Structure 1
Amino acid sequence: MSPEEKSLIQQTDKITKKDNSIPLKYATIIPAVFLLSLGGDIHTYVVNEWTQYTIRTDKFPNMSSVHNFSACSDTNHSDENYKHYKIVQQKSAMWLAMYNTAHHVPMIFANMILPSITDARGRRFLFVITSLGMLTRYCLLPVIIYFKLSFLFVVAAYGLDGLTGSSYALYSTVFSYIADITTGDNRRVRGIVVIEVVLVVKSVLSSILSGYFIDTWKIEYLYTGVISAFIAFTGFFTFAFLVPESLNEKCQQKSKSLLATLKRSTEFYYSTEFKGMRSCYILLLLCFMFAELSDMNRSTLETLYFLGQPFCWGPSQIGVYLMVRHASKGVVGLFILIVFQRFMSNQAICTMSTLSNAASYIVEAFAMTNLMIYMVPVAGMLSFLMIPMIRALMSTMTDNTTQGALFASMALIEVICSIISSYLENGIYAVTFSFMNGFVFLVLACFSMIDFTLLIAYCCVKPYHLIKPKIQTYNSVHNTNV
């Protein structure tokens, strides 16, 4: 690195340190993300449980075995209650699949376009659109429950939310926002990891609150839905009125046609403009895809896994384990990142996280006791860093004026992976649980090892592209008041 290049990077860091508005932006974006997504998670619990409850009470009002059913009990499969239980589960699964499809199909198109537009119009407009779409879905649920409307209205609410990009577009814009207000690889990595930690915390808190609202305090689904909508409204209000813009008008690109906007989110991977860097983008995008496939459906698979033999856990035991796993990996992951960044590169930390993730899946696949299961979070201490580190590595390669386009391409991969993982991994579990109920976790471990291989390849080609993104970042910051 030449002295001139070092000087440019040092000046970039000084500009960022002098920006007194950055703490304010973190102080507004973090609670906005937390509150909106917390309300959304509670809403999801209500939708899932209310759907099953409604089907059960409508078709079999005298049935009491659903909540007490155990896969480990000596159930008589010819018993009427067992047959009713299967019908309720099948119909519930059908409607939940319809919700998922109505939600994700329009999101594919929305996430190809909307996050990219933020590079031309700023981030705040999409914060308002996506959070309003999510809030609308949350507010419609209590109305549907109160008037006892058809499940088709829930499908329509999910579809409407999907048209605005929903949580995937929101989070991709949040990550673009973090990229706008940070420079320097380590600071940007920490900023993105902090957002991921916030999302982990809300997952833990939402599972606890949902359990208390519905099971312990016996609050009806209607009022729990109202509570979730109110929590989400506070997040929407923060996004709409308190979160300041992060992308200065001087850095905003000129508005382009819809086709040009769509093209911008894919140019990183084929355009001659990124010649010499395309291999890095492609390798990291593949890493991101396999990381999402290995992580996205994990909690659902674990729920099925623990309900069956040899564990035979109930909902409360499963909830405690998921809380421990999520909480430990978030807190420990952030602490380890801060410590490890003093001694090794971000690429090395990311590579280690893939091995940690694979190890956690292997332990989980062969565990036969509760003690072994609680070794899974220990083996996976670094696994939490895998996805946010890949996001950060791609972001630090990219100029600030194209962060929205970059995260749009990643959001599209997330939506596709969400659909694929749900059907593929649940299908693998259904086919293989008869001879090894943990076999699906070995498949997910293989996905993590593919990530490890791709990251090694990335580390081999990255030395050719160390400086260019730094200079672009300096130029972006130098011409804007972030």
Structure 2
Amino acid sequence: MSDEERSLIQQTDVHTKKDNSIKLKYVMIIPAVLFLLVGGGIQTYVINEWTQYRIRTENFPNMSSVHNFSACSHSNHSDETYKHYKIVQQKSALWLAIYTTAHHIPMIFANIILPTLTDTRGRRFLFVITSLGMLFRYCMITIVIYFKLSFMFVAAAYALDGLTGSSYALYSSVFSYVADITTGDNQRVQGIVLMEIVIVISTVLSSLFSGYFIDTWNFGFFNTGLISIFIAYVGFFIFAFLVPESLNETYQKKSKSKSILATVKRSTQFYYSAEFKGKRTCYILLLLCFIFAELSETNRSTLETLYFLGQPFCWGPSQIGVFSMVRHASKGIIGLSVLHVFQRFMSNQVIAAISTLSTAGSYMIEAFATSTVMIYMVPVVGVLAVLLIPMIRGIMSAMTDNDKQGALFSSLSSIQVICNLISSYTANGIYAATFSFMNGFVFLVLASFCMIDFTLLLVYCCVKPYDAIQPNARTHYTQHSTNV
């Protein structure tokens, strides 16, 4: 055997070991994310339903009709039961808004700073911090439920969790981790889409399990809270002890510590710094795409719940849960399946543009739907909706050097938190203001956001310089990644 053949075999073995190690890291991070988010999703359903239950029992302890209220059977708004039901809903909505505000405001600042630090301190430290903060919130809320403490303790639990960055900082570090362990633009996009689908699956499972635990099996709020803590703890344990670091110690030692101001600048430099001259327009266009995508998608499930509870559908929780499961599962499974095929024939930005049209079409159908058959066309038309946000993340990540991945995803997670906060107020406000003349009007507004995204992506394709996306920028990957 010649030296050249022997060298070729050795290189093949190295690449094989590298691929196997990458698969191992995915195997470890996927269940960690899934368990932590499923536990958190169940906990969210628990606190939302418990808040309404407690308000109802404290204000109208002897009126079971308020609990069994149906918008379809009580069209008379002067009816006494309707008035009581309205009071419960208003008070519940107020406290849920307080929870959201207490959670998101500190989260904005945490997400500007913490994910950026992972570029110098490694990804694992943020995995541990965020999962600990989330686990603390679940424990504190379960204690509040058991002792029937003030709702302000719930808000405090959300605020403390927000200071650690919560789920959005977790997403940021997860996407940075994926960027570390993948090579090539398409592989990176596929990895980010895969993690987005894991998040979608966690939403489906938490919705399904919470219904069974609270209602079907009658475990109640406290016991369901305990179960959610155990599930989330499994995720925390995997993050803390089993997920390996993706940045090696040599690279971390070379990176200098930054002040808080320098850290903030580092997470926003993509959109104004002279260092990114020639790419800034692309970054700004993609950031705008990300903003409108988040505004159109982040509050969709909440709006659909209100929409389906009312006329003409009058669905119950089980019917809404089935539809939600079908919509999320279909776009997750099919979306991931078609991505690899699409990437053979078209660029990632074209795939993102197609995804905007798929999402807009599903909103249009939902706005004018009058029957169950029409409603179930929504997941059919919107089957590619899951690709838009991860495609934007993937394109931006491919434009960015490896030592700035944490800073990039830090900026995106901060924007995501702000969009979530804005959407939770504006989308519900639009629904309330337009309900009287068209209860599906809000979905037309969200469809218009998708068309703005489509236009921005077309502009991006026109102005993008040839070197805006650098497939070979990953060649120095091993300089700061572990030897995978």
Deviations 1:64-90 (A, max 9, x none): 123321111134433332222111111
Distance 1:117 1:385, change over 3 A: same
How far has the Cα of 1:13 moved from its partner?
11
Aligned-partner SS, 2:65: coil
Candidates 281, 288, 292, aligned match of 2:290:
288
* Structure 2 SS opposite 1:251: helix
CA contact (8 A) 2:184 2:472 kept: no
Cα distance in 1 between the residues matched to 2:332 and 2:251: 34
Q: How does 1:29-40 map to 2 (within 5 A)?
A: 29-40=29-40
- The aligned residue for residue 203 of structure 2 is 203
Corresponding residue to 1:318 among 317, 320, 334: 320
Deviations 1:423-445 (A, max 9, x none): 11111111111111111111111
Work out the CA distance in 2 between the residues paired with 1:156 and 1:472: 44
How much has 1:321 moved relative to structure 2? 0.7
Cα distance, 1:344 vs. partner?
1.3
Check 1:60–1:479 CA distance in 2 against 1; reply closer, same or farther (3 A cut): closer
The equivalent residue for 2:154 is: 154
The answer for the alignment partner of 1:116 in structure 2 is: 116
Give the letter aligned to residue 22 of structure 1.
I
Counterpart among 412, 418, 421 of residue 420 in structure 2: 418
Q: CA deviation at 1:17?
A: 5.4
Preserved CA contact (<8 Å) 2:172 2:413: yes
Contact map agreement 1:71 1:308 (CA 8 A) in 2: yes
Task: Name 2:22's counterpart in structure 1.
Answer: 22
Match of 2:376 in 1: 374
Q: In structure 2, what residue type is equivalent to 1:368?
A: T
**Alpha-carbon shift at residue 472 of structure 1 (Å):** 3.4
Q: C-alpha deviations, 1:31-58, integer Å up to 9, x for none? A: 0000000000000000001111111111
The alpha carbon displacement at 1:283 in A equals 0.7
Say yes or no: does 1:459 pair with 2:461. yes
| Counterpart residue number, 2:190 | 190
Once residues 231 and 268 of structure 2 are traced to their aligned partners in structure 1, the CA distance between those partners, rounded to angstroms, is 36
User: Matches of 1:17 and 1:309 in 2, distance apart?
Assistant: 58
Classify the secondary structure of the residue corresponding to 1:310.
Answer: coil
Tell me the distance in 1 between the aligned counterparts of 2:12 and 2:29.
22
Question: What amino acid is aligned across from residue 108 of structure 2 in structure 1?
Answer: I
Aligned to 1:224: 224
Question: Conserved in 2, the CA contact under 8 Å of 1:15 and 1:478?
Answer: no
* Cα distance between partner residues in 2 of 1:13 and 1:297: 47
Alignment of 1:402-413 (within 5 A): 402-413=404-415
Gap change, CA 1:458 and 1:249, over 3 Å in 2: farther
C-alpha distance in 1 between matches for 2:100 and 2:323:
25
Alpha-carbon contact 2:99-2:158 (below 8 Å) kept:
yes
Q: Write the distance in 2 (CA, Å) between the matches of 1:206 and 1:128.
A: 22
CA spacing shift, 1:43–1:84, aligned 2, 3 Å: same
CA distance in 1, matches of 2:103, 2:159: 5
Aligned residue in 2 for 1:169 = 169
Q: State the alpha-carbon separation in 2 of the partners of residues 148 and 414 from structure 1.
A: 33
Is 1:433 aligned to 2:435, yes or no?
A: yes
Superposition deviation, residue 479 in structure 1: 5.4
The code of the aligned residue for 2:41 comes to D
- 1:317 positional shift: 1.0
Q: How far does the alpha carbon of each residue in 1:386-412 deviate from its partner, in whole angstroms, 9 at most, with x for none?
A: 011111111111111110000000001
Which residue type is aligned with residue 297 of structure 1?
Answer: N
Corresponding residue for residue 72 of structure 1: 72
1:346 aligns with 2:348: yes
Normalised by the length of structure 2, the TM-score is 0.94
Shift of 1:369: 1.2
Q: CA RMSD in A?
A: 1.6
Contact 1:35 1:234 in 2 (8 A): yes
Normalised by the size of structure 1, how large is the TM-score? 0.95
Shift in alpha-carbon separation, 1:143–1:346, aligned structure 2, 3 A: same
Partners of 1:105 and 1:321 in 2: CA distance? 32
Instruction: Return the alpha-carbon distance in structure 2 between the equivalents of residues 369 and 317 of structure 1.
Output: 13
Instruction: Give, in angstroms, the shift of residue 14 of structure 1.
Output: 10
Contact 1:16/1:182, CA 8 A, preserved across alignment:
no
Matched AA of 2:189: V
2:142 match: 142
Aligned 8 A contact 1:251 1:401 in 2: no
Q: CA–CA distance in 1 between the matches of 2:267 and 2:88?
A: 43
Match of 2:450 in 1: 448
Matched, 1:89 2:89: yes
**CA offset digits 1:361-391 (Å, max 9, x no partner):** 1111111111111111111111110011111
Distance 1:118 1:14, change over 3 A: farther
% identity of equivalent residues: 72
- Residues 35-46 of structure 1 aligned to structure 2 (within 5 Å): 35-46=35-46
The 3 A distance-change label for structure 1 pair 69 and 479 is: closer
Listed as ranges, the matches of 1:2-17 within 5 Å are none
Distance 2:100 2:245 in 1: 32
1:299/1:13 Cα in 2 relative to 1: closer, same or farther (>3 Å)?
farther
Corresponding residue for 2:5? none
Q: Distance in 2 between matches of 1:423 and 1:343?
A: 40
Which runs of no fewer than 5 residues in structure 1 stay unpaired?
1-11
**Contiguous gaps of at least 5 residues in structure 2:** 1-10
Taking a change above 3 Å as real, the CA distance of residues 471 and 416 of structure 1, as seen in their structure-2 partners, is same
Query: Structure 1 16/151 Cα, relative in aligned 2: closer, same or farther at 3 Å?
Result: farther
- In the other structure, the counterpart of 1:98 is 98
**Residue pair 2:355, 2:386 contacting (<8 A) in 1 also:** yes
Once residues 192 and 78 of structure 2 are traced to their aligned partners in structure 1, the CA distance between those partners, rounded to angstroms, is 53
Q: Is the 8 A contact 1:13 1:184 kept in 2?
A: no
| Residue 387 (str. 1) matches residue 389 (str. 2) | yes
For the pair 1:474 / 2:475, whether they are aligned, the reply is: yes
Change (3 A) 1:16 1:176: farther
Q: What amino acid is aligned across from residue 271 of structure 1 in structure 2?
A: S
